[in-house]
A and B are shown apart, each in its own frame.
Chain A
């Protein structure tokens, strides 16, 4: 097994699982690296094992596809074709210095990765068009366990990024109150920890995620006071071609509608939450009807009492690792070709990272990517043309549907106008909308980076992941993808190179989350290292101290 080419798949959600299983079936050795204790990603987030659930399927839909995936994973784990490194938080993927420069890369394009062809020099690699290639051309750096203090480095011949997405939440007055949380966050806490944030919940925003969140919370005993969707689902009928291509998606929508009815959840379409109310905790929201222009209809506002607001405005791709590798982006998503290859040789990407489109699309992309990676790594053509064409057609139909849905579920045009100057936009640094606006109007900022430098919006713990779309919307500056050197905070000791080498099939490598956690906990204290979060804080403390002295 050890002599087979080694593909590291990062992310064990639908895309990563599909990719890993497909690649393993096609003859490569796969290491599936994932931050969670169990496979499944956010979509198939499982309750923690010690919670002993006998009916986890009650929290999920598309359970049969999960059973297939997890069954296949178990079989591949048993044969050793796949290793699953749970509780491994990848913070960086490094490409060895055999890569051609950007200009050469552009000229040669994403060529095949051929095992055994070890270029003698970077320039030769570029000229010959043999892209990537040498064994161990990549090093995947991960932090172990929940404490994330110890690092491990995993060598790979090729890397497949299935890093998924995270939720976009646009600000409104009151959105920082405890009790207001992202819709996906509410669902994650329910699926993983079997807890509800409160008893009376409003689910609001826009996009297809709101339906499973509302029905899931209701089934688990919350009273869902309303599902507030700013889009008009009837507009889907006008999305060209997309609906006809995926009648199954319509049926899925109908099933959700039936469930909402069963749980007596009022479904307010073309409505939005304009304000969240409360002192130390949410006690209600004001919702208002929207006109066709996306602006609030005068006189159409009313208050709904609730202790929880689960709100979301769609998803954003996780592109940090792709960014550190130098992969090109289309808008905010990783750019891929027909085989799901990024434009960095030896790096594939699949699922939400390449454009948000849901679990079915992630599965389709994962399978295409896994087949391509296995073929390229073993020096074969990816697959028979007819089969490739069928897979591409399925992917195209799903992408068209996602694009149609996306255009319908765009946040309402007037959202930025409803953000008062006092509203905190950057949650970490407590930067208000007024400050952000003033950076443009008074200080002349013309791009997001300048706004950030002038206001500190995006400089805090989350590094702009939460506030960037809001700052772009409020300022009119084009949304750009921030290139972050690391995908998560890293202890200084790990940065300094104090990390273990992963020896492939070495038994010392822990393959289950609990063992990995224990290992991390064993050395959990006294490393004397600060996290990135701590460093942000220290710099701020110093700044404050400087101010105090003046």
Chain B
């Protein structure tokens, strides 16, 4: 089975640990938060304000704001733009992310 890493013959720096909703996942240096979550099989990490519907990446290039997420207690970060850093605490965001 091919993979994007194999296709591009990637030799990334060592993976590191971050947490997503308290669970440890491994991330690769250079990836965005969204890419790290996708790589861990997570495709939704936000629920909408009004209907509580799940959302994840939609536009992938920082236009649509669907992929908002809470990183290190800062809500409303665009996961598709934000590089993931070692030790990041990533949390699913409910609504505005300001509800505690």
Q: Are B30 and A461 in contact (CB under 8 A)?
A: no
Q: Is A427 touching B66 in the complex (CB atoms < 8 A)?
A: yes
Bound-complex Cα distance A278 to B48 (A): 17
| B64 & A54 in contact (Cβ 8 Å cutoff) | no
Whether B44 and A280, one on each chain, are in contact in the complex, defined by CB atoms closer than 8 angstroms, is: yes
Query: Which of the residues A166, A197, A430, A525 comes within 8 Å of B57, measured between beta carbons?
Result: A197
Are A58 and B9 neighbours in the complex by a CB distance under 8 Å? yes
Q: Chain B CB within 10 Å — which of A185, A190, A533 has the most?
A: A185
User: In the bound complex, how far is the Cα of B54 from the Cα of A189, in angstroms?
Assistant: 20
* Contact between chains at A220 and B3 (CB < 8 Å): yes
Indicate which residue in B4, B49, B58, B65 contacts A194 across the interface (CB closer than 8 Å).
B4
Given contacts A194-B4, A537-B76, contact A461 B65 (CB under 8 A): yes
The answer to whether B96 touches A194 (Cβ under 8 A) is no
Does A249 belong to the interface (CB within 8 Å)?
no
The answer to whether A48 has its CB under 8 Å from any CB of chain B is: yes
Q: How far is the CB of B60 from chain A (nearest CB, A)?
A: 3
B contact residues around A253 at 8 Å (CB): none
The answer to whether A430 touches B83, judged by C-beta atoms less than 8 angstroms apart, is no
Residues of A within 8 A of B36 (CB): 193
Asked whether B60 lies within 8 Å of A186 as measured between CB atoms, the reply is: yes
Size bin of chain A's contact surface? 35 or more
> Is B49's CB under 8 angstroms from A540's CB?
yes
Are the CB atoms of A185 and B98 closer together than 8 Å? no
Known interface pairs A184-B60, A220-B3, A462-B65; A531-B34 also in contact (CB < 8 Å) = no
CA–CA, A317 to B39, complex, Å?
Answer: 31
Binds B, one of A174-182, A339-347, A405-413, A476-484: A174-182
Chain A: minimal CB distance from B16 (Å) = 11
Complex Cα distance, B57 from A179, in Å, reads 8
Total residues of chain B contacting the partner, CB 8 A: 52
Interface: B19 (CB within 8 A):
no
Contact A51 B61, beta carbon cutoff 8 Å: no
B96 neighbours in A (Cβ, 8 Å): 537, 540-541
Would you give the 0/1 interface string for B64-76, flagging 1 where the beta carbon is closer than 8 Å to chain A? 1110100000101
A51 to B2, CA, bound (A): 17
Q: CA–CA, A391 to B69, complex, Å?
A: 46
Given the known inter-chain contacts A48-B31, A189-B38, please indicate yes or no for A181 contacting B58, CB distance below 8 A: yes
A269 within 8 A of B: no
Let me know if A188 is at the binding interface, CB within 8 A: yes
Minimum C-beta distance from B47 to chain A (A): 10
Q: Which residues of B contact A460 (CB under 8 A)?
A: 65
Contact B30 A50 (CB under 8 A): yes
Q: Residue-by-residue, is A516-535 near B (CB-CB < 8 Å gives 1, otherwise 0)?
A: 01000000010000010110
CB atoms of A188 and B60 under 8 A apart: yes
Q: Taking the complex as formed, is A281 at the interface, i.e. its CB lies under 8 A from any CB of chain B?
A: yes
The 10 sampled A-B contact pairs (Cβ below 8 Å) are: A50-B12, A51-B5, A51-B29, A51-B31, A54-B10, A189-B35, A424-B53, A430-B49, A430-B53, A461-B68
A56-B8, A181-B58 given; name 11 further pairs at CB < 8 Å: A50-B13, A53-B10, A146-B83, A178-B43, A182-B64, A193-B39, A219-B7, A430-B50, A430-B51, A465-B63, A466-B63
Task: Give the interface of B toward A (CB within 8 A).
Answer: 1-13, 28-32, 34-36, 38-39, 43-44, 48-51, 53-66, 68, 74, 76, 80-83, 96, 98
